[in-house]
Each structure stands twice: as structure tokens, then as C-alpha cells.
Amino acid sequence: MEHIFEILLNPSGTLERFRTQPDGRGSFLTFLMGVLSVLLGLLILAQRQITFKVFLLCLAGSVAILFLLTLIKAAWLHYFAQLFGGRGKIRPFVAMLGSSCAPFIFFLPCAFLASRTSHFFAVIAGAALLAWVVALSLRSLEKNYHLQKGRAVAVVLVPSLILFVVGAAVGILTLLTLLVSLLLSLLSGVAVAF
């Protein structure tokens, strides 16, 4: 718990310390607590009752998938940080990203309050917590790779833009392929009629 309070109350100092002394176990526990809080909060909001066995399965699957995605994100951002002139190691950055999930521990109490009032509160709280996590992730990029704020934002935005353009191109090509296929099937139907 000390690790969570440390990242929440003194993020710059904690991230600076992680750059030289990464705390993998503490970061993973912070990450785990964030995932647990979000999962429990979502269950409260959904007003579903599940067995403990199913809950553990959901938790294990969520942690495994989200941890794998965090590792992929860390590798992706590490690559782009170096392209933008950053100098840093990936191990401390992974620890920083895990610790950046600390604000998600507040999702459970927010979900509980939202279940008693309005689900809209959960949406607002979730968006605010996500913004806090993104801000901590950007700060992690700045600290670990010695980047200025603008470059750290560019490290996040450029890969996102690349993924968007590639996704849009694949979508457009798929749509064009479907349209050509439809046109060819219509033309073959017309040719058979004559």
C-alpha cells in the first residue's frame, strides 16, 4: 500500500526514483490493485452476481491480458521514445507504467457511489481516472527517457496516428474489395441473363 500512496502523493519523486531503482514487485501489485478495483467496480455497476470461481477466472484473465498489453505498449513507446531522442531503459519504464495505474484504485468507491446515485457519475469518474493514468504515463515517459513534455506527447500521439492511418487504410481496402466483389457478382448476374 505504501507504494500506491507514494505514486499518488509524490509522482515525480517516485518516478524519478524508479528510473534508477525500478520496483517491479511493487509496480505489479499496484497494477493488480488497479485491475481488481476496476473489475469489482464494473461488477457493482452491472449489478451482476457471479461465483467466486468465475470472479477469479475473470481477474486472472484481465490481469494476464492487460499486463501483456502493458508490456506491448511499453515496448512500442520505448521504440518511439528512442526515435524522438529519448535515452532510457525499458525495465524502469515498465515499472513506471505499472505504477501509473494507481489512480484506478479509486474506481471501486466511485462505482459504489454511482450505483447508489447515477451511473453517469461512474462515467465521469472513470474518464477522470483515465486522464490521471495517462498523465502519469506521460510523466513516466518524460522521466525515464529525459524527454520534454512536447516530445513525450508526440511519442504517444505519433504511434496512435500511425495505427489510425493503417487501420483506416485496411478498412478502406476492405470496403473497396467488398464493393468490387459486389459489382462483379452483379455484372456476372447481368451477363447470365443475356
Through-space distance between the first and last CA atoms of the chain, rounded to whole angstroms: 78
Please tell me the predicted confidence (pLDDT) of residue 78.
93
Q: How confident is the model at residue 181 (pLDDT cuts 50, 70, 90)?
A: confident
pTM of the model: 0.77
Burial class of 42 by CB neighbour count within 10 A (0 to 12, 13 to 18, 19+): middle
Mean pLDDT of 62-69: 91
Burial class of 97 by CB neighbour count within 10 A (0 to 12, 13 to 18, 19+): buried
Higher pLDDT, 89 or 187: 89
Task: Provide the mean pLDDT of the chain.
Answer: 87
Q: How confident is the model at residue 191 (pLDDT cuts 50, 70, 90)?
A: low
Cell numbers that stand for 152 in this block: 513525450
